[in-house]
Amino acid sequence: MTHFSNFEKKIKVIFKNKDLLKQAFTHRSYINENPAASLSHNERLEFLGDAVLELIVTDFLYKKYPHYTEGELTALRSALVNAVIISEIALKIGMNDYLLLSKGEAKDYGKARQYILANTYEAFVGAMYLDRGYDAADKFVAETLLPKTEEIVNKKLWRDAKSLVQEKAQEFVLVTPAYKVLHQSGPDHDKHFTVGIYFGPDLIAEGKGKSKQEAEQKAAEAALKIKNWLD
């Protein structure tokens, strides 16, 4: 377990149950490839950690933003606990170096790895909750994830761009925005989309992403900036 002791030193938390720590980093693919390893994968821990993380974040936001409505708090929480943000945090604190993956998964550094990292972070929160209690899990999340809140609030990243641009377009130009795929490229496992957002016949902005939904969000964000509708 010396491998994982390095991670414990890094985050300044020592686990009582080292098997629980290792399980948090064990992906299902590793178990499938190493059935004799007598390990469990991290999906049950992820299930628990997801709920613990949501409570920690909800409690923090509720106290920090007393004037926000339920809808605003929900949107802000969703922006904070989405897979992109959590995987960034997991990468930043070095979780990628400790993942137990199959040989195939270990070679994939695309969107699949992003989700694996986000799930591992949640599994680790679950493991910490079981091993060290709620306060320890709360402290870990407060030190790693919650500092992102200010950036999300300041850049208004918590507001869903598609919903906001639809609201503004209906208010100011009396149209409902439409989205159209302008270009797509790449193999099935690594697609890239360019989507245009239209107000009636007029192309307002374009957005790029690895899915149509991501490209639509980027196009909506670009349209909000072009129209100066962010405030």
Bridge partners of 92? Answer: none
Tell me the C-alpha distance between 122 and 48, whole Å: 8
Task: Please say if 122 is a catalytic residue.
Answer: yes
Element (H, E) at 149: helix 148-154
Task: Please say if 50 is a catalytic residue.
Answer: yes
Determine whether the annotation assigns residue 119 to a binding site. yes
Tell me the C-alpha distance between 84 and 56, whole Å: 19
Determine whether the annotation assigns residue 96 to a binding site. no
Cβ atoms of 197 and 165 within 8 Å: the answer is yes
**Dihedral over Cα of 90, 91, 95, 96: its sign:** positive
Of 122, 131, 216, 221, catalytic: 122
CA 138 to chain centre: 18
Of 19, 33, 43, 50, catalytic: 50
Determine whether the annotation assigns residue 34 to a binding site. no
Active site residues: 50, 122
Binding residues: 46, 119, 122
Binding residues for Mg(2+): 46, 119, 122
